[in-house]
Amino acid sequence: MAFVVTQLCKDCVDTACVEVCPVDCFFQPKEISADTPNMLYISPEECIDCAVCEPECPWEAIYPEEDVPEVFVSDIALNEISDTNRDAFDLAKVKEHEPPSADEVAENKEKYGL
């Protein structure tokens, strides 16, 4: 089992999860496209299932693979492309940022019916 970043991260890209990760398993696409949206990706090959990233994500976008909501099931394969097409990704770097408000998180979830 690996953890999965869902599209709740899309265009939000908060790196609090990257900061606490004990291994380098978070990636970002070098080029944003329909196939590689602007979000973080967890490499299933690099993830050690430590679970420290999940509670750190202020957008509540990270789930254990078996708990990914139905609306985000395709994000499992989306995260896998960070392994199958590694040349298209850079290792994610920690960036300073303002965490989202509770209202922003709720509004983001509503876009996906959550």
**pTM of the entire structure?**
0.94
Sequential pLDDT tens for the chain (114 residues): 699 999 999 999 999 999 999 999 999 999 999 999 999 999 999 999 999 999 999 999 999 999 999 999 999 999 999 999 999 999 999 998 899 999 999 999 999 999
Sheet of 89-91: strand order equals 41-42, 26-29, 89-91
φ/ψ (deg, to 5) at 5? -90, 125
User: Rounded to whole angstroms, how far apart are CA atoms 112 and 104?
Assistant: 13
Token couple for 75: 């994000």
Within 8 A by CB and 6+ apart from 94, the residues are 15, 18, 19
Helix (H) or strand (E) holding 26: strand 26-29
Q: Quote the number of domains for the chain.
A: 1
Q: What is the pLDDT of residues 76-91, one digit of tens each?
A: 999 999 999 999 999 9
Token couple for 24: 């380098």
Q: Give the range of the structural domain holding residue 9, as residue numbers without chain letter.
A: 3-110
Contact 41, 79 (CB under 8 A): yes
In CATH, what number is assigned to the domain containing residue 48?
3.30.70.20
